[in-house]
Structure 1
């Protein structure tokens, strides 16, 4: 029997420092998030970050927390429910990479329903060490240790899938309808530059310059930067955006090592200084709104823009559980479960 496991990032149990601390510990101690030797990770995370950051992160979570709970969890659960409605013959479970809704629990739920073949679906359009890879690696480890009789198929990155680009572009258009926007900023979650070099299968193509991401290469299959910039290019083409009316940036830096450029906060500031009075931000590295979109962009980004003289700041919601996204996700899953219907995986 076939089943589906949707996997998102995760969330602390509550917006308190007490619950944020163990969540951050699990997240930041992941060797694919902070990819340094274990001893150095312990020093950085438990010796420095966890002594200061939980309180600040808890305050940020408190700003965006819903009555039902963490926005990311609530949205992901609604997505799961809506996808399950369209897939009556296949159990759909939900798990988080970090926190109490573990991947192990998700796999156990499916196995308990008689599933022996699982489609593992990381809810990220682009491949990255700290998102899709950490999910697929952990799922395979759990399979070997606890579920040796099941088969797991990983759903690939879908950043350049034409149907996904259509759904994303339509969502942007819908949310900007009736608005006069001078600049559309595509803000992606940042990663250290070393992550890009580490996953360059050619060991020579990635230069993180103006040419490598637009020069065809097998490296692009695992290049987060290329995949982000390609989303921007494809959506800009679909929406017929003019040069200079859109750009890409990367948010959420941590530490002092070089990260992908340019930073979102400084880009918003620069646009304001250039005289842009109305702008919108879309965050295509996420399919579900979360702390990074609801607080870092919608609140902090707007504050930066207004302080520099900007007037109208629009945050475009993630796809969340919008009907077109649910329909597309369900279509992809059906094409895996019933290959005779369509070819996708």
Structure 2
């Protein structure tokens, strides 16, 4: 019987906070056509001709504020998840990153060296987006076909709607919520509006009322709907009134229109509406990283307090919480068992 293994995939991180390392990482990341979906020549002009002239130095300074003695928070946390999961399953577990090292190819090769020929590949993104789940699967398939054509890969699909995940997220939030707060803000990573339309093969999404419909053909492909659905499901479990919950989207790049409302604008305007004590969580991420530790808990806090807010509480991601490891184990074992059915 073929030997099976698990490959956990996260976004990736520069190898260090040196400007050149950050530049190399941003080049690979931003030149991905699933991230900036312009024609190659225009993408290269934008990324290599403009963005990489100034952004690496600024990003390097930001990375320095969150870097640990062990390295990048995202890499460190993903390794801890791997180690904890390995103790709970009887197949090899490796990690890979969509960008930089350890790469997806490195992760696959490490499993093959352990005798694995059937891999469950888990993109660690709860919601589906072109720039997350889609680019991971496309890259993995490209590598498999070119270098490892004899292996089989089962992919774990977005799990935002799975009760075991929403229960896990709700319990994690419940344990960290302060006693008194005016609002809980769910801040998701943003994407350009055009990405929503591009990933919708049904062509039924209008980025308006369809997200709130109970069913719509575009829902399995609509990142915006899945974010709102995650929020709605979790706040029901937390028994929070809807008027105490806000949804927004962070991390815009460029001048194109991204899905709204924007997190920075939200943080700057809600104190004037009487929201002085804010709690914020980032459910598009399962591991704390630059976008949560610096963009939200440092920059976001500063924006909110300067606008008149009084207290700002950031709730950490699921990271390596035991309940989250159990969710990963269950989802992986479901896919491992499917190999027997093929």
Q: How does 1:316-327 map to 2 (within 5 A)?
A: 316-327=315-326
Deviation at 1:200, TM superposition (A): 1.2
1:303 to 1:137, Cα distance in 2 relative to 1, 3 A: same
Deviation at 1:273, TM superposition (A): 1.7
Structure 2: distance between partners of 1:71 and 1:25: 20
Unmatched 5+ stretches in structure 2: none
Matched, 1:123 2:124: yes
Alignment partner, residue 47 of structure 2: 45
Moved over 6 A (4+): none
Q: How does 1:201-216 map to 2 (within 5 A)?
A: 201-203=201-203, 205-216=204-215
- Indicate conservation of the 8 Å contact 1:3/1:118, yes or no: yes
SS in structure 2 of the partner of residue 253 of structure 1: coil
SS in structure 2 of the partner of residue 130 of structure 1: helix
Structure 2: distance between partners of 1:306 and 1:294: 17
Deviation at 1:100, TM superposition (A): 2.0
1:106 to 1:340, Cα distance in 2 relative to 1, 3 A: closer
SS in structure 1 of the partner of residue 242 of structure 2: coil
Alignment partner, residue 286 of structure 2: 287
Deviation at 1:245, TM superposition (A): 0.3
Matched, 1:31 2:62: no
The TM-score, its normalising length taken from structure 2, stands at 0.97
SS in structure 1 of the partner of residue 218 of structure 2: helix
The TM-score, its normalising length taken from structure 1, stands at 0.96
Structure 2: distance between partners of 1:212 and 1:314: 28
Unmatched 5+ stretches in structure 1: none
Alignment partner, residue 271 of structure 2: 272
Structure 1: distance between partners of 2:339 and 2:30: 42
Matched, 1:314 2:316: no
Alignment partner, residue 73 of structure 1: 75
Alignment partner, residue 247 of structure 2: 248
C-alpha RMSD over aligned residues? 1.6
Structure 1: distance between partners of 2:279 and 2:223: 23
- Indicate conservation of the 8 Å contact 1:214/1:226, yes or no: no
- Indicate conservation of the 8 Å contact 2:182/2:277, yes or no: yes
Structure 1: distance between partners of 2:337 and 2:16: 40
- Indicate conservation of the 8 Å contact 2:154/2:335, yes or no: no
Alignment partner, residue 196 of structure 2: 196
Structure 2: distance between partners of 1:338 and 1:52: 48
SS in structure 2 of the partner of residue 317 of structure 1: coil
Alignment partner, residue 233 of structure 1: 232
- Indicate conservation of the 8 Å contact 2:202/2:217, yes or no: yes
SS in structure 2 of the partner of residue 303 of structure 1: helix
1:7 to 9, 16, 19: 9
Deviation at 1:270, TM superposition (A): 1.4
Q: How does 1:53-132 map to 2 (within 5 A)?
A: 53-87=55-89, 89-132=90-133
Q: How many residues align?
A: 340
Structure 2: distance between partners of 1:335 and 1:216: 25
